[in-house]
Structure 1
Amino acid sequence: MAEVVHRNLESMLPQLEELESSGIFTHDEIKQIVRRRRNHEYKLLRRPARKEDFLAAVQYEMHLEQLRQHRKKRLGVPTTKYDAENGILNRIHSLFNRALKKFKGDLKLWLQHIEFSKQCGHKVSLSRTFGRALAIHPNNPGLWVMAAKFEFEDMKDMSSARSLLQQGLRTNPQSKHLWIEYFRMELLHTDKVKKRRAVLGVDMAESEEPSSDQFLSNKAASLVYQQAVTNIQLDVEFRLSFLPVVLLFHDTNSLQDQVYKDVEGTFPTHPLVWQALARRQWEGLDNPLTDAQTEKMERQTEELFQEGIARAGDDQSLVMQHWDGYLHWCRERVDNAPSSLRKKAVRRMLTAFKQASLNGHLSEAKYKEYIDTMLTLGLSREAASISELGTGAYPSSLPLWIARLSSCSEKVGQLCRQALDQVDKQHTLPIWEFWVNHALENEIKEKEIESLFKGGVASGVAAVYEAMSVRYLEWSYSVGGVKKTRNAYKSLLSERQPVPHCLYERCIHLERRGLLERSDGQSLKHLRELYQRALADYGSSHPGLWLGYIEMELRFPGGLVENVGQLHWKAIKELKPELTSDFISRYSLMHSESAVVT
């Protein structure tokens, strides 16, 4: 190992001597560089090799290169021999190459080398690195795209870029990303040629493109699209994903027609197709429209949406998706319509909502949107009627039941019971919370409120039990003080095992609060019982419980200071090892603060 390290260091001497003679680094600094490189070399040669060692060496050389460039500029040192000028950069490349021989499968390492080569402008090295990386990672579409982009944009070599993407597609024929980027690149190439011709004002040479007319009409991109849909069949979203790319370029109407005709012919009833067809005339508008033009386009769009709905036939699922798309467009028109046409857009949207609802074609999400729209317009009575229709169509829908309850002013309790019967028990917490809030706001009798809390506690759902238990305790304290709270939590603690930690915390908090506000002489006794029960369940995982118990004995009137030592010993014994250090540090801080106060 020592011989290899010595040989590697000797090969660096000419470059280091020139850096010293040019004044960029002093003799002592050169010695330090040699020493640091020697240390790195020994680490790189040890077994097993570690990627972190290579990255540390690379990072050091990068910092060294930054320092060299800064000093050269500051000192005005003229450019030296090529080897000295690029010696550090070449060493970084060498370190990356050595690392990649050891860790060929590490894609992140390849990308780091690629990024470094880009920053340095080493295009030849970058081409070689891409080639080696793709040989190791041929199934990574993003890497093929990155390599092709480099050839196209940096090397100005469309043939190589096209060849790379074609090779990537032979390896990954089902990669949607590769097909879309290949399509985009062909359009970019054609667009650049068109712009170059426009600037130069000359025709394209025959040798540049064999079929210039076809080339300029985006024939290459058209062929890519055909190949893509042949390889990835019956995927409507994939075919439609070509449209946003096409719309980025001018003079692509024929290509747009090809895509629209293809999806309409292949998927004649699909909602996404008809949404795309209906929205087509709104895409790429450069000039503002008059009200008359806007109204005409809106009528044409409505007709297309209605045709799509008719094409869906008796398939209820498809019909509902068509209506969702139409209603979404109606909402967009309300948001984007000029002020002179906004009222008309609102009427259109409400008419569409009503028609879809009456025909049974309104989805759960759109029912909720319908209700919210009516509330926004101040039509609360209509919103209540719609929410009733919604819960009839989707009886297990929690959002629709909450909307219905929110718009209800009478027989709320009866409606809440109905909602609890219909909605999945595991999702009923919002209904219980709504019911409790309504009861508290409307000053219902205490017995009825207490009965309501007990109903939530006994629901059999953990989330409802925890939330209702905590609120029950807080309400009990607010209406009956610590004694009523004590009766409530004793009942609660016997309801469910294990008792949730949050419930213990709330019981302890309210007992301590009662002790501070108006002690009845029994609070310390009950607090100790609570802490002991809580620690029996959670003593190994919650240092805060131990600290709270110790603090109570230390600081509260009537506390037993002699118990503190035993509690500390038990805590150290029972807590998980990873929690003991935290407990000890917090205990020491608390104990010192207590001593200062004393």
Structure 2
Amino acid sequence: MADVVQFRLERMVDELDDLEQRGLFSRREIAEIVKQRRKYEYRLKRPSPLKQDFLEYIDVLRIMDVYEQALKRYKGDIDLWFRYLEFCRLKKNGRMKKALAKLVRFHPKVPGVWIYAAAWEFDHNLNVAAARALMQEGLRVCPTSEDLWVEYLRMELTYLNKLKARKVALGEDEGTLTSDRRAADEKQWRDENQELFMSLNENEENDKSNVESDESKKKQEVFAEHGMSIFRTIYIGAVEAVPSSLNLQKRFLEILEGIKLANSEEMCKEILSDMKRNFLTDPEFWDWLARREYNPENVQGRSEDVIIAQMQKAIQVYEEALISVPSGSMFRFYVSFLMGFITRKGGETNISGSSGQPVNYVEHLLTIFKKAEGMECLTEDLACDYLSFYLQLGQLDEARKLAEKLCCGTLGESVQLWGLRISIEMKRITRISSPSDADHLFFFELLKDILSKFPVSKSENLWEMALKFYANQTQYFDKLLEISVVSLARDGGSENGFSLSSAFVRFILQKDGIQQARDVYKRFLALPHPGLVLYRNCIDLETNLALSGDKDALMNARKLYESALATYDQDVNLWQDYHQMEIKMGTSEMATSVVWRARRTLKDAGRFIASSDLG
């Protein structure tokens, strides 16, 4: 290894001597350069060099040899290859073509490789034939790549546009493929000396002018027709290769609408017809088609008549879609569109055009919700949107009736929907100036049924809402506590995240003090599988009290650690926290005992790092 490194350093002697002779570096600086290069060369020659070693050497020296060494070892690293290509492009060292050939050989299945190679041939080498050959070869290897098809189309249209621009720049008739310089010169001379000539037949002169205009127009259309021919050919090939891609056809349509080609409107209709035939049952297609009719960005500053007309077209598309795809996802797209429009209008109920006929999109949206419900297409998300919209309109009673109806129906297992119903009932009670005992009892019984029905892991939000609502109502809070004990005995505690038992301990600590909190957490810890989160929260509680001077807290914390480790004896962090506590607040004997027990208990003792060893 040392011989190879020395050989490489000796190859640098002439270069370094030249730098010193030119006065760019002193002898001491040259020695530092040699030292740094030797360090990197040794790194690269060790048995298992890291990719980072090559990259750091490249950043320091920017030499091609290092890149080539790195690529020999990491042939499969696409990012490294592209860094190398960008370096070759910037330095213009003549190695780009060779590098691209290697990259294509090693990674023929990566579409971006073909696109990059073709772009370099097209933009930098000005070799359209080579770029076209690369794109076509790439499509043979990766026929299902949407990006390859789209970039191939863009390249061909760009080339056609360059040809047209070249014709104009050369002074030929605008947009023609052929030129007649003599005729052009003669026409220019006759135009400049028009007063020297007298027309013998004015009508004949006008006819001649019209003929010339028609000929010029025909020549201008040659490029548009050729461009359409190219577009159609590539489009047909792309659809045959990737028939199931809605996104590909959308991208082709966007390109077509952004350029001027012959019969482009007919081609747009053809593409839309193909899409409608291929994606008739795809809700995403119908949503995209409807939003083409009404785009908020395109109607800014337009009259209400125009907005209403475009909205009605979009609604017609959605109504047609519901016939073809009567599904929950289709209704969701429809609802999202209408809600977005209503939100942009600031919740305005009626919109009127010049005809004075108001269009109530709020009522129309409610009709769509009812239609989805009637067709049994009301999904969980759609039902929640339905309820939320009633609340947004301030119609609390209607929202309450609907929530009861939905929760008692096919969506009765939806926790999210029950959460909305509970929030609606809470709003109703808080709005009543003096709620009766019957109101409180009805709500609590409803809450009790829900909390008993769902496991704690799925009803976290419901429990949090209930705790906050009854935090200052001791009678109902105590009943909630009893319900929680039953639920946790059935489901067990949490190992991470939300902990219902910890939430109760926290509320009781704030409300009734530490002694009641200790009684409650001991009750929870006595249940089967109380959960690691509860242990940690109780330990933190006792540790903070110990720091504040509570004499019993340290002993309680030790008991909690011992109880937790009886179940979670392989938890390294728990052992470490126990050891840290003994160092800060306990004795050295206890800290040493914890270290000894941890290393004896843990299966992988090396994972345990005691704080006494960190120095």
TM surpasses 0.5: yes
What is residue 154 of structure 1 aligned with on the other side?
124
Decide which of 403, 413, 416 is 1:399's aligned counterpart: 416
What is residue 230 of structure 1 aligned with on the other side?
240
Letter in 1 for 2:443: V
- Rounded Cα–Cα distance in structure 1 between residues aligned with 2:552 and 2:53: 65
What is residue 279 of structure 1 aligned with on the other side?
291
Moved more, 569-578 or 220-229: 569-578
What is residue 583 of structure 1 aligned with on the other side?
611
- Could you tell me whether the CA contact under 8 Å between 2:595 and 2:610 is conserved in 1? no
Instruction: Quote the offset at 1:131 in angstroms.
Output: 1.6
Instruction: Quote the offset at 1:402 in angstroms.
Output: 0.7
- Rounded Cα–Cα distance in structure 1 between residues aligned with 2:448 and 2:116: 59
- Rounded Cα–Cα distance in structure 2 between residues aligned with 1:227 and 1:110: 30
The verdict on how the C-alpha distance between 1:217 and 1:110 changes in structure 2, with shifts beyond 3 A counting, is closer
Instruction: Quote the offset at 1:362 in angstroms.
Output: 3.0
Count, aligned residues: 543
What is residue 491 of structure 2 aligned with on the other side?
460
What is residue 109 of structure 1 aligned with on the other side?
80
What is residue 318 of structure 2 aligned with on the other side?
305
- Rounded Cα–Cα distance in structure 1 between residues aligned with 2:495 and 2:77: 48
Confirm or deny that 1:323 pairs with 2:323: no
Letter in 2 for 1:326: Y
- Could you tell me whether the CA contact under 8 Å between 2:380 and 2:411 is conserved in 1? yes
- Could you tell me whether the CA contact under 8 Å between 2:456 and 2:488 is conserved in 1? no
Question: Which aligned pairs between 1:95-494 and structure 2 lie closer than 5 A?
Answer: 95-122=66-93, 124-192=94-162, 202-206=174-178, 212-213=222-223, 217-249=227-259, 253-282=265-294, 285=298, 288-312=301-325, 318-337=326-345, 341=351, 344-391=360-407, 392-408=409-425, 409=429, 410=439, 411-420=442-451, 426-445=457-476, 447-463=478-494, 467-478=499-510, 480-494=512-526
- Rounded Cα–Cα distance in structure 2 between residues aligned with 1:49 and 1:449: 62
- Rounded Cα–Cα distance in structure 1 between residues aligned with 2:579 and 2:51: 45
The verdict on how the C-alpha distance between 1:513 and 1:236 changes in structure 2, with shifts beyond 3 A counting, is closer
Q: Secondary structure at the match of 1:444?
A: helix
The verdict on how the C-alpha distance between 1:578 and 1:569 changes in structure 2, with shifts beyond 3 A counting, is closer
- Rounded Cα–Cα distance in structure 1 between residues aligned with 2:567 and 2:502: 18
The verdict on how the C-alpha distance between 1:156 and 1:502 changes in structure 2, with shifts beyond 3 A counting, is same
The verdict on how the C-alpha distance between 1:459 and 1:152 changes in structure 2, with shifts beyond 3 A counting, is farther
Letter in 2 for 1:534: A
- Rounded Cα–Cα distance in structure 2 between residues aligned with 1:295 and 1:101: 64
Moved more, 301-310 or 573-582: 573-582
What is residue 544 of structure 1 aligned with on the other side?
577
- Rounded Cα–Cα distance in structure 2 between residues aligned with 1:198 and 1:372: 61
- Could you tell me whether the CA contact under 8 Å between 1:436 and 1:453 is conserved in 2? no
Instruction: Quote the offset at 1:29 in angstroms.
Output: 3.7
- Rounded Cα–Cα distance in structure 2 between residues aligned with 1:518 and 1:7: 71
- Rounded Cα–Cα distance in structure 2 between residues aligned with 1:512 and 1:43: 49
The verdict on how the C-alpha distance between 1:127 and 1:378 changes in structure 2, with shifts beyond 3 A counting, is farther
Q: Secondary structure at the match of 2:475?
A: coil
The verdict on how the C-alpha distance between 1:346 and 1:445 changes in structure 2, with shifts beyond 3 A counting, is closer
- Could you tell me whether the CA contact under 8 Å between 2:51 and 2:70 is conserved in 1? yes
- Rounded Cα–Cα distance in structure 2 between residues aligned with 1:112 and 1:288: 47
- Could you tell me whether the CA contact under 8 Å between 1:152 and 1:158 is conserved in 2? yes
Instruction: Quote the offset at 1:93 in angstroms.
Output: 1.8
1:535-590 deviation per Cα after TM superposition (whole angstroms, max 9, x unaligned): 44456622222332454446xxxxxx87566556556766765565452268x9xx
Instruction: Quote the offset at 1:352 in angstroms.
Output: 2.6
- Could you tell me whether the CA contact under 8 Å between 1:190 and 1:218 is conserved in 2? no
- Rounded Cα–Cα distance in structure 2 between residues aligned with 1:399 and 1:281: 34
- Rounded Cα–Cα distance in structure 2 between residues aligned with 1:348 and 1:250: 39
Letter in 2 for 1:386: L
Instruction: Give ranges in structure 2 of 5+ residues lacking alignment.
Output: 180-218, 353-358, 430-438
The verdict on how the C-alpha distance between 1:365 and 1:155 changes in structure 2, with shifts beyond 3 A counting, is farther
What is residue 58 of structure 1 aligned with on the other side?
58
- Rounded Cα–Cα distance in structure 2 between residues aligned with 1:94 and 1:311: 62
The verdict on how the C-alpha distance between 1:110 and 1:172 changes in structure 2, with shifts beyond 3 A counting, is same
Moved more, 135-144 or 257-266: 257-266
- Could you tell me whether the CA contact under 8 Å between 2:164 and 2:176 is conserved in 1? no
- Could you tell me whether the CA contact under 8 Å between 1:334 and 1:346 is conserved in 2? yes
- Rounded Cα–Cα distance in structure 2 between residues aligned with 1:436 and 1:41: 66
- Could you tell me whether the CA contact under 8 Å between 1:134 and 1:143 is conserved in 2? yes
Instruction: Quote the offset at 1:305 in angstroms.
Output: 1.6
Instruction: Quote the offset at 1:133 in angstroms.
Output: 0.5
1:145-197 deviation per Cα after TM superposition (whole angstroms, max 9, x unaligned): 22223333333433322221211111111223322332343344445555666
Moved more, 175-184 or 49-58: 49-58
Letter in 2 for 1:300: K
The verdict on how the C-alpha distance between 1:335 and 1:156 changes in structure 2, with shifts beyond 3 A counting, is farther
The verdict on how the C-alpha distance between 1:12 and 1:492 changes in structure 2, with shifts beyond 3 A counting, is closer
Letter in 2 for 1:548: M
**TM-score for the superposition, normalised by structure 2:** 0.75
What is residue 185 of structure 2 aligned with on the other side?
none
Moved more, 232-241 or 338-347: 338-347
- Rounded Cα–Cα distance in structure 2 between residues aligned with 1:26 and 1:266: 73
Percent of pairs with identical residues: 25
- Rounded Cα–Cα distance in structure 2 between residues aligned with 1:225 and 1:319: 31
Confirm or deny that 1:529 pairs with 2:545: no
The verdict on how the C-alpha distance between 1:59 and 1:515 changes in structure 2, with shifts beyond 3 A counting, is closer
Instruction: Quote the offset at 1:253 in angstroms.
Output: 3.9
Q: Secondary structure at the match of 2:95?
A: helix
The verdict on how the C-alpha distance between 1:261 and 1:495 changes in structure 2, with shifts beyond 3 A counting, is same
